[in-house]
A = this chain, B = another copy of it.
Amino acid sequence: MKISATVTLKKDVLDPQGKAVNQTIKNMGFKNVTDVRQGKYFEIEIDEANKEKAKEIIEDICKKLLSNVVIEDYIINYK
């Protein structure tokens, strides 16, 4: 089963990487882009038929490895 996890900075955490991308986009002439926030994306292949069980495992991995829960949020999606 393929599951994706998207890790993004929480709303009130500054995102200098996103700001830099936003500025570059503006400099390229796309004037109507107002904000960019960047995150990480993981596509995880897991050998587990039970959807709920698989999601639980991925959530565990997100908490322990892929994200810093103090400043980041994660979203899990089935592919």
Q: How many monomers of this chain does the complex have?
A: 2
Q: Flag A18-54 by CB within 8 Å of B: 1 or 0 each.
A: 1001001100101011111111111111111000000
A11 to chain B: closest CB distance in Å?
11
Contact B61 A33, beta carbon cutoff 8 Å: yes
A-to-B contact residues, CB < 8 Å: 6-8, 18, 21, 24-25, 28, 30, 32-48, 57, 60-61, 64-66
Q: 28 A-B Cβ contacts within 8 A?
A: A6-B6, A8-B41, A8-B43, A18-B43, A21-B42, A21-B66, A25-B61, A28-B64, A30-B57, A30-B60, A32-B47, A32-B57, A33-B45, A33-B46, A33-B57, A33-B61, A34-B47, A36-B42, A36-B43, A36-B44, A36-B45, A37-B43, A38-B40, A38-B43, A39-B40, A39-B41, A40-B41, A41-B41
